[in-house]
Amino acid sequence: MASRIFGSGIKRREDPRLITGKGKFTGDIMLPHMLHMVVVRSPYAHATIKHIDVTAAAAVEGVVAVYTNADMTLANIPCAWLIPNSNLKLVPHPPLAKEKVRYVGDGVAIVLAESRDIAQDAADLVRVDYEALTAVVNPEEASMDGAPLLHVEAPNNIAFRWIASSGDAGVEKAFAEADVVVKERIVQQRLQPSSMETRAAVAQWDSGNEEMTLWVSSQNPHIARFVVSGVAGLPEHKLRVIAPEVGGGFGAKLPIYPDEVLTVWAARKLDRPVKWVESRSENYTVTTHGRDHIEYVEIAATKEGKVTALRGKVYAGMGGYLSTAAPGIPTIAHGLMYSGVYTIPNLRCESIGVFTTTTPVDAYRGAGRPEATFLVERLMDKLADKLGMDPVVLRRKNLIPPFANGYTVAMGITYDSGNYEGALAKALGIADYDQLRKEQAEARTKGRYIGIGVTTYAELCGFGPSAVAGATGFQGGLWESAIVRVSPVGKVQVLIGASPHGQGEETTFAQIISDELGFPVKDIDVIHGDTSRTPMGWGTYGSRTTAVGGAALVLAARKIKEKARAMAAHLLEAAVEDIDYDDGKFFVKGSPDKFKTIQDATLMATLAWNLPPGMEPGMEASQFYDPPNFTYPFGAHIAVVEIDPDTGKVDLKRYIAVDDCGPQINPVIVKGQVHGGLAQGIGQALCEGAVYDDNGQLLTGAMTDYAIPRADMFPQFEIDHTVTPSPHHPIGVKGIGEAGTIASTPTIYNAVIDALKPFGIESINMPLTAPRVWAAIQEARANHAIGGR
């Protein structure tokens, strides 16, 4: 048998069109008689709208229409994660602001014109009379008495307050009785997701059939159809949503925004195609941001280093409105993960969602779990320091022992499988940890500041099952679906509900089918991102496409295989039980030379001239799959940094990542996902951060100010893996999209603090830019800490 396609790093099938410029992104779509839409946006973070005058704008030649909220009867943009028992305030979010604007960028009018230039010219002429109100950008301050109020429905700007606890009495007792307690205030700074393609939408109304087509740069076209049809008042079956090539999302193309709703509304109203493309400065002020937590966290332990409790209070900035998934992020996707990979018996998370006069916050790569991993790993390092213990030794004292089928942490969730020591040992081996520590000690004697950061992590991924969605207030399901359709000549169409956008599932899913059914990869086409062609699915996020959609696909393929086996048995005049299968061929046990290929079986099943009794014609299978549990990928990362004490610059010397996402379908693609995840997590640690002034103006509103990591910031990442299958997944896979981001931020942070140990520095707010590190060194020197030059 030829080498197995599953596990092989074949070249991506997506690439030929993308490397030749033939891939079609939403912005590439140009339709006859198309209008261009520009949204007039608030320059104020918080203001009352007194009057809008569109006269001058409407008079510009080439302008077809200018609309404000008064011209439309659209439903509010909904929030879709209504966390129970949190007193969540569902505040109205009209597609265009009505009486008030609540962040810089809040839409107040739309201009439709014959060209984008004209639309922009006219947009500049829309006169809005605002009465400025006081802004508030810090979520903790916004929750205090006397802070400016954004929504009358939400006193003290509190959107929700959620508590998860293993038992408050136990937590209190553990802290009261602890030998050691270590505390930290962590600022998870706000991040701008920065997909290279900004958002875009094109809507085309077919008035004859009363059908709408919406092309949108989205991670979840089916959810877009679900929500946009509702808001725009279109029958859902009359709205076709297509996500063509999508130039990155990272969570920020998961929410449903006013812009695509307005595009659809205007296309119908004017009966002409309408295109809207976001500029980068719009993208930075309007597309959701990530993180934005202020956290007060503490950990309790015995003097021997056994962790007995961990708790945190989180102020999570929501921005001006509740974005689609926003409330779920600092709660379900965050607080439930406070155990990390450790046997911590007492856990508590209190998470307070707070409105601020800023861009709404939603998912950003990892969404909630990076913040959780950061605080756990930060506290572990700080505790190790306090105990005078090597951070690896401390972790090993607390790691959950290897388990193959379920481990329930104190928060009540059950991890599927894990071998944390295995990953840690492998990473330490690659890094040569003991030698690194020696080199570090030696370097310190020479006035060089080398730091080593070690993180062990697990993440809650493969979002599902739907029962959990329901129990946690998520207004959707978390299953996935697949249809496998074999044509008479043996070519395979795979239709999936998920919507990959760079993750490579056109390739990996073809590998799954090839592995299951023996068709060559070239004969398999994976189709996604079109609600009219594909079955329903809930989108690509939360490292769930392969974990959940992949399972649906495997099970659909297995249905095909069983049908083909039955057909082959019929053709071979044998009993089904007597048919063996290998590499696309069915044969009677013991007679491998007497066989029918899966293509033969398909042709005969499709012709249906002579079917076995009871068999339906055709070779097609459909599968909906709702997983029994989340998956929990894990791993261990190690970073080595050196700090230039004169400038404060952090130089990343080495980065070792050992991740375990179960069996790897395509190891080259897995590594690529890790690389990209690392870059984003390292970006948070070292250079990225949205900055607002006190008036709520975004000061990092262009790529000249918001620092996206560049190539020269990184060494060659040293990537390896372990393989611990998920017990509940048909092929054991777990998901890898977010791992790199989740683990790398604390790894880098801990390495930097480790490097600065001679100065006695315990914390610096991220990003750890040169000026911030330098200032911390100066302050430490002024405080007569030991060390330094």
Partner 1 sequence: MKVSITVNGKLYVRDIEPRMLLVNFIREELGLTGTNVGCDTSQCGACTVHMDGRAIKSCTCFAVQADGRQVTTIEGMASGDTLHPMQEAFWEKHGLQCGFCTPGMIMATTAYLKDHPNPTEAEIRHALDGNFCRCTGYQNIVAAVKTAAEKVGA
Partner 2 sequence: MCPASFDYHRPASVAEAVQLLSRPGAKALAGGHSLIPAMNLRVAQPGELVDIGRLDVLRGIRVDGNRLIIGALSTHAQIAASPEVQKHCAALATACSTVGDPAVRNWGTIGGNLAHADPASDPPTVVLACDAVIHTQGENGQRAIKAADFFVDVFTVDLQPGELITSIEIPSQSHRRMAYVKLPHPASRYAVVGVCVSMHTSGGVCDQIAIAVGGATAKATRATGAQSALLGSLLEAEALEAAAIAISADIGDQAVSDIYANATYRRAMAGVLLKRAVKAL
- Applying CB under 8 A, the residues found at the interface with partner 1 are 9, 11-12, 14-25, 27-28, 30, 117, 194-198, 245-248, 250, 279-281, 501-504, 668-669, 671-673, 675-680, 702-704, 708-712, 714, 716-717, 740
116 binds partner 2 (CB under 8 A): yes
Tokens encoding 214: 């919406």
Q: 């590439």: which residue's tokens?
A: 28
120 binds, among partner 1, partner 2, none (CB under 5 to 8 A by kind): partner 2
Question: Considering beta carbons, is residue 220 or 285 the nearer one to partner 2?
Answer: 285
**Is the link from the previous residue into 767 a cis peptide, with omega within 30 of 0?**
yes
CA distance 537 to 527: 13
Among residues 542 and 677, whose Cβ is nearest to partner 1?
677
Q: How far is the CB of 705 from partner 1 (least distance, A)?
A: 9
**Residue 559 interacting entry, from partner 2, partner 1, none, C-beta within 5 to 8 Å by type:** none
Partner that binds at residue 85, options partner 1, partner 2, none, CB closer than 5 to 8 Å by kind: none
Contact window for partner 2 (CB under 8 A) among 344-352, 376-384, 699-707, 729-737: 699-707
Is there binding between residue 695 and partner 2 (CB under 8 A)? no
651 binds partner 2 (CB under 8 A): no
> Could you say whether residue 279 binds partner 2 (CB under 8 A)?
yes
> From the list 699, 723, 779, 786, which residue makes contact with partner 2 (rule: CB under 8 A)?
699
Partner touching 32 among partner 1, partner 2, none, CB below 5 to 8 Å by kind:
none
677: three-class secondary structure by DSSP: helix
Dihedrals phi, psi of 180, to nearest 5 degrees = -135, 135
Interface with partner 2, residue 165, by CB under 8 A: no
> In the 8-state DSSP scheme, what is residue 193?
-
Residue 120 sits in the site that holds partner 2 (CB under 8 A): yes
Helices 369-387, 391-398: inter-axial angle, 10-degree rounding: 110
| 607 binds, options partner 1, partner 2, none, Cβ within 5 to 8 A by partner type | none
Q: Does 276 bind partner 2 (CB under 8 A)?
A: no
Say whether residue 108 binds partner 2 (CB under 8 A).
no
Q: How far is the CB of 687 from partner 2 (least distance, A)?
A: 5
220 in Cβ contact with 541 (< 8 Å): yes
670-689 binders of partner 2 (CB under 8 A) = 687
Report residue 311: phi and psi, to 5°: -145, 160
Is residue 298 within 8 A of residue 181, CB to CB? The reply is yes
Euclidean distance between the first and the last CA atom of the chain, given in angstroms as a whole number: 65
- Of 627 and 677, the one with the shorter C-beta distance to partner 1 is 677
- Treating both helix axes as pointing N-terminal to C-terminal, what angle do 433-445 and 420-431 enclose, rounded to 10 degrees? 50
Which amino acid makes up residue 227?
V
Which of residues 389 and 770 has its CB atom nearest to partner 2 in the complex? 770
Q: Should residue 769 be labelled a site residue for partner 2 when binding is judged by CB under 8 A?
A: yes
Which pair of tokens denotes residue 731?
């092929």
Peptide bond into 465 cis (omega under 30): yes
**Structure tokens of 164?**
């998860």
Closest CA to 113 of 179, 160, 66: 66
Min separation Cβ 116 and partner 1, Å: 9
- Helix H or strand E encompassing 640: strand 634-643
What are 303's two structure tokens? Answer: 């003097």
Q: In angstroms, what is the minimal distance from the CB of 664 to partner 1?
A: 13
Subset of residues 589 to 648 that bind partner 2, contact rule: CB under 8 A: 646-647
Query: What are 159's two structure tokens?
Result: 């959107």
Angle at 371 between CA 369 and CA 373, to 5 degrees: 65
In degrees rounded to 5, what are phi and psi of residue 704?
A: -75, -15
CB 675 within 8 A of CB 719: yes
| Contact between 121 and partner 2 per CB under 8 A | yes
Residue 209 site contact among partner 2, partner 1, none (CB < 5 to 8 Å, cut-off depends on kind): none
Report the partner that residue 23 touches, choosing among partner 2, partner 1, none (CB closer than 5 to 8 A by kind). Answer: partner 1
Residues of this chain that bind partner 2 (CB under 8 A): 116-117, 119-121, 124, 279, 281, 646-647, 649, 687, 691, 699-700, 702-708, 769-771, 774-775, 778
